[in-house]
Structure 1
């Protein structure tokens, strides 16, 4: 599991740019701000008075393929703002560790299916999980709006009495803090005598929340109210069915972020 997820994290790192959310930095260590098209006779770098950020000319960072005096340009720049009630942290900013939907697929999902142009990669453990799916419309309206396609599939443990486990290793940053966003939707037609109910266990500790009962064809997002840490970089999330549940737990999609603490 850890080797497979480690490979997935490397793949995501090569295909996507790390998302930084709610940046509150007063320092630019590790970052660079560019002034596109700054005239050659103007000072570079310079400090912008309003923000206090230092900007540099983009002249040494671009290659236009032409020789002579040219004016750099950007054909289009799209910004998709999210609501103020999503991806909230107590401190610092968020850096994407991974964002996956649980499906035995090779398709990664992004805009236009994701209105915020987030990238969702498929992830599935064939040796431990069974995939369930639906062709019906799953309502995805909440503060996070994951694509409906990511909610139309889910993983359940192949052995119904076992927990569904998501585990990863981060030995380089054993003290890292994590925010988790778990997306659930019931996509099977349950009989009157059937119930799907489960608890969430983080590194052996049952999380102090009510058991999860996924809503029929509608999203439920369970998020971390405060950051979580792992045991020496070994992270484990388990979904464990309750004693009254007749069905195994399920998970449709999950996002995991680490906390960036910027220097003051």
Structure 2
């Protein structure tokens, strides 16, 4: 993906083994960044004993990482978007059980525009649950097609359709993507819509899966993207609304041709039992469609981070091997910690 690799001296500190091992990355104070971490056990230590440990973001608990010997080829990935409190950010892995040694395979930092994902409090982090797009194949979209290196996965596993699924190509020569959260033009090459038997009622709907959320209700942020795939005739209209469970939460959405309509939902809670549904309005002659959507939780309220100097005073870790990259951000790859 044309991301260039560099040495790791700027990110690595070594010292006495600690139970918490951290990376500290210099960033502009008050900037908005995307942080992505990846973990793939792969029995790297030949012990067949995948560890469980905590992941921390600027000193705040982010997630509990449960690695496995049967994990998928891409392993586990965690992604957060947030506004940095000081002129550095830190990502830590912390031991929580005896003889369970934390490790990290990759750490990536990307800069975002301050106007992106702005409908949540600046002291909260957005934790990615799902980001998908309609594609005609199984290849994710990311950098360089997305300059912010967000990973847009194929939508076939994340969209449920009442009467079936249809991926339709967009015949617009180009799509103006100047909307608030800056989606890449590549995610508008196709759209997902529904199908129904000839002469059947216009009742097909699109359900956005929320199975990546927890069973417990938590604050969320949802953003959805729509672009009409063809220039409609004078007697055609595509209009629909978003529902949460059985309650409408949007005005009618009419996807524009050659540009993008974005609808976001914030300041609400949801769980894996919540239904997000796109249903046609009474005057619509066409089924709903969607090009892409993102689903985040915003349950973490970030506490004020110590200054970078303070972090460097007490964050010490010992790494066997770390490799870093630069490109649209920073990547640290393949760190295995010892003696924690």
TM-score (normalizing by structure 2):
0.54
Corresponding residue of 2:208: 166
- Partner of residue 168 from structure 2, selected from 132, 136, 143: 132
Corresponding residue of 1:107: 139
Q: Name whichever structure is richer in strand by fraction.
A: 2
Q: Hey, what's the Cα distance between the residues in 1 that align with 2:274 and 2:209?
A: 6
Q: Report the CA distance shift for 1:129/1:24 in structure 2 as closer, same or farther (over 3 A).
A: farther
Q: 1:141 offset after TM fit, Å?
A: 1.5
Q: Report the CA distance shift for 1:218/1:118 in structure 2 as closer, same or farther (over 3 A).
A: same
Q: 1:114 offset after TM fit, Å?
A: 0.5
Residues 1:32 and 2:88 aligned together: no
* Unmatched tracts of structure 2, length 5 or more: 1-70, 94-101, 197-201, 304-340
Corresponding residue of 1:14: 75
- Partner of residue 187 from structure 1, selected from 229, 235, 248: 229
CA contact (8 A) 2:115 2:181 kept: no
Q: Hey, what's the Cα distance between the residues in 1 that align with 2:154 and 2:169?
A: 14
CA contact (8 A) 1:170 1:234 kept: no
Q: 1:154 offset after TM fit, Å?
A: 0.6
CA contact (8 A) 2:80 2:125 kept: no
SS in 2 for 1:32: strand
CA contact (8 A) 2:215 2:273 kept: no
Q: CA RMSD in A?
A: 3.2
Q: 1:239 offset after TM fit, Å?
A: 0.6
Structure 1 residues 225-259: Cα deviation after superposition (integer angstroms, max 9, x where no partner): 423324xx302111110111000000000000011
Residues 1:149 and 2:149 aligned together: no
Residues 1:227 and 2:268 aligned together: yes
CA contact (8 A) 2:139 2:153 kept: yes
Corresponding residue of 2:309: none
SS in 1 for 2:75: helix
Q: Hey, what's the Cα distance between the residues in 1 that align with 2:235 and 2:286?
A: 11
Corresponding residue of 2:66: none
Q: How does 1:33-72 map to 2 (within 5 A)?
A: none
Q: Hey, what's the Cα distance between the residues in 2 that align with 1:259 and 1:23?
A: 15
Number of positions where the alignment pairs a residue of Structure 1 with one of Structure 2: 209
Corresponding residue of 1:249: 288
Corresponding residue of 1:80: 111
Q: Report the CA distance shift for 1:119/1:263 in structure 2 as closer, same or farther (over 3 A).
A: closer
Q: Hey, what's the Cα distance between the residues in 2 that align with 1:171 and 1:214?
A: 27
TM-score (normalizing by structure 1):
0.69
* Unmatched tracts of structure 1, length 5 or more: 1-9, 34-59, 63-76
